[in-house]
Structure formats: structure tokens, C-alpha cells
């Protein structure tokens, strides 16, 4: 589907970012962020990857598929680097964006999270469990389109 026009999607002073910024970031900021991350994500810390994915979801912005696939790849290849907070934020963000991870990767994430659960906060555990509960409901979302899922 077509990407939303973030510059006109919300009236200034409305939306999730407005609570803190007084406005909703426009297309220029989000598109530049998408482009830079797609190229440089392999050099980003897992902390920064997870926080950026979380922020995109909070801003109700779904980046282009190549960036989501790079996030997927970072999870798959750097799984041992993610801590409990990283897992909770990236899983929450990807789930909120209705991005479908490969089932095998989801199982590997679960096992990796179990290994980090001793350092997890109650919020980390709650967000990861929420993501695993919501994940099956993606069947209620339209087709293969990546969009902010109303079912979550």
C-alpha cells in the first residue's frame, strides 16, 4: 500500500509525538531516518535499533520494507547482543507495525529472551509476552500489507 503522507496525516498538536514535541514529525524527518537506517543499521547498537523501532511504532510510522527487513536481519544475526530491554522494545515495535517475523526467528527470539529474563524488568517481560499474545492476531490484518495494525 501507499505510505501515508506524514506531513498532512495529522493536524499539528495532535498524535503521539505532539504530547512531547508539540507537533508530529513530518515526512522529511521520517524518510531521511528510514534511508540512513537502511544503509547504516549494521553499525548501530542493539540498544539504538530497538529504540528506533520502538519510536517508529510510537509515532505510528511504518518504514519502507527494506528497513524492516534489515531490522529482521539484525535480529537474526545479532541475537546474542540483544538484552531483555532491546528484545521488549523491538518486539513491541515490530508487532505494533504488524511486521511478520519468520516463525523460526520468533522461536529463536523467545529462547534468547528466556536467557536474558534474569535481567528483565517487569515491563520488559510484559511487552514481550504482549507481543507473543498479539502476534497470532495478525491474521485479522489485511493481506500482506505492512501498516500500523488496528488489531493491536
User: 62 CB contacts (<8 Å, ≥6 apart)?
Assistant: 3, 56, 68, 97, 99, 146, 147, 148
pLDDT at 148: 45
Closest-CA residue to 25 (of 53, 49, 59) = 59
Q: Is the pLDDT of residue 47 over 90?
A: yes
Sign of the four-CA dihedral 12, 18, 20, 23: negative
**Average pLDDT of every residue of the chain:** 76
- Taking CA atoms, 19 is separated from 16, 55, 148, in Å, by 6, 14, 19
Name the band, by pLDDT with cuts 50, 70 and 90, for residue 49. very high
pLDDT in tens, 64-90: 888 888 888 888 999 999 998 898 899
137 vs 96, more confident: 96
pLDDT higher than 80, residue 111: yes
Higher-scoring residue by pLDDT: 70, 6:
70
Q: Taking residues 16-39, what's their average pLDDT?
A: 72
**Whole-structure pTM value:** 0.70
Distance, CA of 101 to CA of 147 (rounded, Å): 14
**Does position 122 have pLDDT exceeding 90, yes or no?**
yes
Amino acid at each position: 500500500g501507499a505510505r501515508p503522507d506524514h506531513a498532512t496525516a495529522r493536524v499539528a498538536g495532535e498524535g503521539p509525538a505532539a504530547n512531547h514535541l508539540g507537533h508530529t514529525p513530518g515526512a522529511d524527518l521520517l524518510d531521511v531516518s528510514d534511508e540512513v537506517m537502511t544503509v547504516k543499521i549494521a553499525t548501530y547498537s542493539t540498544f539504538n535499533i530497538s529504540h528506533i523501532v520502538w519510536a517508529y511504532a510510537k509515532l505510528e510510522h511504518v518504514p519502507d520494507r527494506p528497513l524492516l527487513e534489515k531490522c529482521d536481519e539484525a535480529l537474526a544475526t545479532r541475537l546474542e547482543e540483544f538484552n531483555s530491554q532491546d528484545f521488549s522494545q523491538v518486539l513491541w515495535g515490530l508487532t505494533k507495525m504488524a511486521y511478520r517475523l519468520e516463525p523460526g526467528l520468533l522461536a529463536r527470539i523467545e529462547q534468547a529472551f528466556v536467557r536474558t529474563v534474569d535481567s528483565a524488568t517487569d515491563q520488559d517481560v510484559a511487552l514481550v509476552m504482549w507481543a507473543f499474545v498479539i502476534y497470532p492476531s495478525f491474521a485479522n490484518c489485511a493481506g500482506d500489507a505492512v501498516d500500523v495494525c488496528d488489531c493491536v
